[in-house]
Structure 1
Amino acid sequence: MSPILEGCSMPPVRSTSLATTILITSIVLSACLSKPHSQMETSLDESFPDSVNAFGDGFPDAGAPCRRLGESSATSAYLDHTRTLAGCLSRSDAEALGGEIVGHLDGVWLISIPNERPTP
């Protein structure tokens, strides 16, 4: 035994409890990493500031990262009865919606989308 460790007694480390801890940690971390980046980025609705009056559970479909935007002092200039105003937290999500990007406000990309798509 090393002279430094003489007189010291340490309880034996149980390898099963260490292995269990490592296993649980691995499972938790892999669950976090398995979400696509866009879901992790937008899973918190509080990311949309109150100033844009975001509502719904996704736009254009439930679970999508963008939201419809309602009337507020910040959005009123962008509202039009013939178009839907939507907001996305990333520019790539905004571009994917189609429509016209009309602004960027408090971290939200504003997109104006025609209610009726023109027929070719």
Structure 2
Amino acid sequence: MRFTVSMFATAALITACSPPPPPVSTALPLFGEGYRFKGDGCQRVGESPATGEYLDDAADLVGCPEDLENLGVFVIDFNAQEVARIDGYVLYSVPVR
């Protein structure tokens, strides 16, 4: 019994230390494995009724979870402009030219 309890306690501690999963969005067509690098918390956002007005051929539309650390660094590094907040994500227009 003691072994079982300690396994559950260990699993609970590991879960508590893990970062929360990003919010699941039904309105945002997220794609890619991260923006700009695989594993990054932000992702490209495609066209949908919720995002159509924010798309631009001279910029990438990028969605980042609202609670993602270092959003300020992302904004500065990529000259990103916040354009909306939808379903727990901050949408940024990131110039590509």
TM over 0.5: yes
Work out whether 1:89 is the aligned partner of 2:65: yes
Higher helix share: 1
Structure-1 separation of matches of 2:96 and 2:14? 38
Which residue, 11, 25, 31 being the options, matches 1:48? 25
- Offset at 1:22? 2.2
Change (3 A) 1:92 1:40: closer
Residue of structure 1 in register with 2:49 after alignment: 73
Aligned to 1:106, which of 84, 87, 94? 87
Give me the identity figure in percent. Answer: 26
Where relative contact order (Cα < 8 A, 6+ residues apart) is larger, the structure is: 2
TM-score w.r.t. length of structure 1: 0.65
Give unpaired runs (5+ residues) of structure 1: 1-16
Rg comparison, structure with higher value = 1
CA RMSD after TM alignment: 2.0
> Aligned residue pairs: how many?
92
**What is the TM-score of this pair, normalised by structure 2?**
0.77
CA distance 1:100–1:33, change in 2 (3 Å): same
Unaligned runs of 5+ in 2: none
Alignment partner of 2:17 out of 34, 38, 41: 34
Q: Answer whether contact 1:68 1:84 (CA < 8 A) is retained.
A: yes
CA shift in 2, pair 1:78/1:91, >3 Å:
farther
Residues 37-92 of structure 1: per-residue CA shift (max 9 Å, x gap)? xx3141x6xx122x221112222222222211011122111111111101122165
Deviation at 1:31, TM superposition (A): 1.5
